[in-house]
Structure 1
């Protein structure tokens, strides 16, 4: 299953080259083997997978709650600057923490302006919307899919939809 997804991620990265935000989201629920697909892509691209929860939490540890919210975008940008090529981000749950007062999709878009980024998204696509968490959950988010390249764990991608229209 990871092989078609792997190829679709690479195709989506190529399609993102000319876009303002060079962001590709791999969307799937927890346990859907996104991490395995990421490691395959990272190996082929000669880069590494960044575990955002691990790296970011250690950077935020010494800061107050207010400092965390204010400095998170700068810290995340510094983390991805260390990667010399395509940035592959996994385990993004920390970005959705209500205490950090961030818009996770906007954060990902901002770091993808100057470099290609592939990021995991623990959620689903329903009725043309990108969804994280369930309605009523404190971290629930719902976005329009416009201006976002999305690859689903079933191998479908927004670039395929654009080709068909």
Structure 2
């Protein structure tokens, strides 16, 4: 099912599929299986981008994070597909990013399948609870949610 969806989004303007589900619902396993079938590595954003950001002064990280992520994505994407997991770092307030908008930008150039670390409720994506410093809330326009129960 996920394979077919990833193929079907190829002709859309924004080619973003988000795997959404509760913790331990199998999102990461599903992405790993897709990775194996397609022979495309998964970019684990937290570990990989985090390592690069540590070498940069904290006052400049927010300026360089989007370009570093683009470079990493270009390195691991294959066959017009980018697979992302562990994206929680993108929600760090110090980086001043809009994680969903960043993912959508990547999805203009190629198909992107990413594990969403929050939830989908009433047509809205969220990360962290309201009042939490990393809280984000988005409409689902411009992406295809793949809900896992």
TM-score, structure 2 normalization: 0.93
SS at 2:116 equivalent: strand
> Equivalent of 1:64, from 54, 57, 68?
57
Aligned counterpart, 1:46: 39
Aligned counterpart, 1:121: 116
The Cα of 1:66 is off from its aligned counterpart by 2.8
> Equivalent of 1:79, from 67, 72, 77?
72
1:18-38 deviation digits (Å, cap 9, x = unpaired):
112211110123222211111
1:135-159 deviation digits (Å, cap 9, x = unpaired):
11111111111111110113xxxxx
The Cα of 1:124 is off from its aligned counterpart by 1.3
| Structure 1: gaps (5+ residues) | 1-6, 155-165
Runs of 4+ in 1 over 4 A off after TM superposition: none
Paired residues for 1:98-113 under 5 Å: 98-113=93-108
Aligned counterpart, 1:159: none
CA RMSD of aligned residues (A): 1.1
SS at 2:48 equivalent: helix
Distance in 2 (alpha carbons) for counterparts of 1:37 and 1:66: 37
> Equivalent of 2:21, from 28, 36, 54?
28
Q: Any conservation in 2 of the 1:65–1:100 contact (CA below 8 Å)?
A: no
The Cα of 1:11 is off from its aligned counterpart by 2.4
